Amino acid sequence: MYSKRIHTAWFGIHFFLITAVCLAGVFWLIAQGSTILPAVCNEYADKAQLGATWCLGKEAGASNPVRRGIATYLHAAGIQAGYSFFAPNVPSQHRLTLELLYEDGRVDYESPHVHGKTAALRLESLLDRLADERYEPVREVLVKMLAFSVWREHPDVKKVRATFGAVNPPGMNEFEQGNTETFQPMFSFDFSLRDDQKQ
Amino acid sequence: MQSVVKSPGSQISVGLSPLRKFWQRFIGFLFPPETDTWLAVLRSGLGLQVIVYALFLRSDWHYLFASSGKGLVGREVGEAITAFDSPLIPTFSWLVAFGRNLNMSEETVLTVAWVSLLSAGCLLLLGLLSRPAAIVAWFVHLCAAESGGLLAYGADSFMTTALFYLMLSPLPDYYSFDHWVTKTKPKNPLLLGFWRRVLQVHLCFVYFIGGLAKCLGNGWWDGSNLWRSLIRPPFNLVPPDLLVQFKYALPLLGISICLLEVSYPIFIWLKRTRWIWLGCILAMHAAIGLTMGLYLFALVMMVMNLAAFGVPSTGRRAEATSAITEQ
């Protein structure tokens, strides 16, 4: 009986946390205005999202033990993120093009790469995160590191220009008419061996 | 007039009766007697999943998880973001720091971690040292998922969750080598039932939220999201020219996916519709794996679904086992 009570209590807490995480995710999507719901819902969704994240302790200070405890549990159980994959709509693909400028004036184009297909999926996942405004604070550092990973293979490169953007695929009808994808630049950075300049 | 309440005490007991009934029904739902066949499916399926995960990442393992200056982006940024959430979440830095005390280089530690993960997967598949293998697999995979958090995608979360449940479930099961070698006593059928329920309810959350979020996007109603997801690199395994030929089927498929997912928590519980829903969900994941190359995601979802709902519920057998165990 004692064991049953412990298991039942754990069940309640566990699924309460999952509910909060999932609702926070759905409310965030609505608050962003990326759903078919009318714009009037966005403000309410924003408030509801705050309520859901409060349940997860995210409104507490970064060093708050309750917040840390909940976060540790969520990560350990793999339930820190909601389940709205490819929703409400499928996002655009993102591309990072590195323009390599050599000492002798040559110009070459490269992209960060990995060996296996599974790792390539992960690299795509990273590029999608770069486009997310929540990752803005670490964007330049990450692009610099990606540029550096290519730089190591081309040590005679003097300067690297990294251009990041969204690749918009053609719709079905556009594809039938012969249209292809379009590239929409979002930001670019210049890196040299000595100093880094942001454009 | 038969229900006249005579005293405040009896009034409370009359008021509590439906609540108590509900509670008993809830407890009955949470702890149904079960055999461990589903657990054997989950254990062996996750063993296979861990092996495939380790083998697929073999050539990029060091490149993805090395520190800055050696790998793709270095694991420090991902670990810093994780540490901001909580410094208690395990990462590869823990293992590297531990290895340093033993004079092991970072490269050696990462190699040991990869070998441990692969070995844990093999042991899980065989059912040898099931519990320690499940703990090692969960821990090393969690370290990888958190250190490479920026590179993680849906399959990682599901793997962590599935390994977390497996680690806590009453291992070893009847079909494992552990049972064959040590002749362990039968596990408590009610506990087996409880952990299966956890997995079942979790999947209901997954599909309901996934389906609901999809229903909120206009692209799932006209098929354009299905088109975009299938032609989006690196998921573009099917040539767009071939897809265009099915342009009228895509809206129907998109709507079907939304309805299938959002109604999963209802129809998967009904005996008449369970096999239809399970079959459709398995087919959907198989299609995701084959047409988009998301093999790891497809495999872990199929394993979880098969363990949760694919193995017929064996209540009577489990009840008999329970009675024998109690005697």
ipTM associated with this complex: 0.90
Alpha helices (H) along B177-220: 177-182, 189-215
Question: Residue B312 falls within a domain, yes or no?
Answer: yes
pLDDT tens digits, residue range B207-263? 999 999 999 999 999 999 999 999 988 888 899 999 999 889 999 999 999 999 999
pLDDT tens digits, residue range B180-191? 998 888 889 999
pLDDT at position B326 is 47
Question: Residue B6 falls within a domain, yes or no?
Answer: no
A129 near B CB under 8 A:
yes
* B291–chain A nearest CA distance, Å: 14
pLDDT tens digits, residue range B271-295? 999 999 999 999 999 999 999 999 9
> Could you tell me which residues are beta bridge partners of residue A101?
A107, A159
Question: Residue B22 falls within a domain, yes or no?
Answer: no
Question: Residue B18 falls within a domain, yes or no?
Answer: no
Specify whether the CB–CB gap between B192 and B325 falls below 8 A.
no
pLDDT-wise least confident of A62-76, A185-199, B95-109, B312-326: B312-326
Q: Under 8 Å CB-to-CB from B104, ≥6 apart: which residues?
A: B112
The rounded distance, in Å, linking the Cα atoms of B157 and A85 is: 12
pLDDT at position A56 is 94
pLDDT tens digits, residue range B158-173? 999 999 999 999 999 9
Question: What band does B46 get if pLDDT is binned at 50, 70 and 90?
Answer: very high
Specify whether the CB–CB gap between B293 and B234 falls below 8 A.
yes
Q: Under 8 Å CB-to-CB from B28, ≥6 apart: which residues?
A: none
B23 near A CB under 8 A:
no
Mutation site for B-interface testing, chosen from A122, A125, A148, A176 by largest number of B Cβ within 10 Å: A122
Peptide bond into B32 cis (omega under 30): no
Out of A34, A124, A172, whose CB is closest to B244? A172
Amino acid letter for position B42: L
The rounded distance, in Å, linking the Cα atoms of A191 and A188 is: 10
Specify whether the CB–CB gap between B64 and B113 falls below 8 A.
no
CB burial class (10 A; 0-12, 13-18, 19+) of residue B217?
Answer: buried
Q: Find the residue in A nearest to B239 (Cα).
A: A175
How many C-beta atoms surround the C-beta of residue B317 within 10 A? Answer: 14
Pairing state between β A196-198 and A182-192 = antiparallel
The yes-or-no verdict on residue B327 having pLDDT over 50 is: no
Of A86, A102, A195, A196, the closest CA to residue A151 belongs to A102
The yes-or-no verdict on residue B48 having pLDDT over 70 is: yes
Domain that holds residue B206: 32-326
pLDDT at position B199 is 98
How many folded domains does chain B comprise?
Answer: 1
pLDDT at position B174 is 92
pLDDT at position B50 is 98
Question: Residue B4 falls within a domain, yes or no?
Answer: no
Peptide bond into A65 cis (omega under 30): no
Specify whether the CB–CB gap between B46 and B54 falls below 8 A.
no
Q: Can you give the residue ranges of every domain in chain A?
A: 2-76, 93-198
Per-residue pLDDT tens listing for chain A (199 residues): 668 999 999 999 999 999 999 999 999 999 999 899 999 999 999 999 999 999 999 988 888 999 999 999 999 999 999 888 888 888 888 999 999 999 888 999 999 989 888 889 899 999 999 998 888 888 899 999 999 989 888 888 889 999 999 999 898 889 888 888 889 999 999 988 654 444 4
Instruction: Strand A107-110: give its sheet, edge to edge.
Output: A107-110, A93-102, A157-168, A182-192, A196-198
pLDDT at position A153 is 86
Out of B213, B223, B293, whose CB is closest to A29? B213
Q: Under 8 Å CB-to-CB from B95, ≥6 apart: which residues?
A: B109, B112, B113, B143
B9 near A CB under 8 A:
no
Determine whether the interchain pair B240/A86 forms a contact, defined as Cβ–Cβ distance below 8 Å: no
- B residues 131-190 closer than 8 Å to A (CB): 142, 145-146, 148, 150-154, 156-164, 190
Q: Compute the residue count for chain B.
A: 327
Cα B279 to Cα A61, B252, B305, B320, distances in angstroms: 46, 18, 10, 30
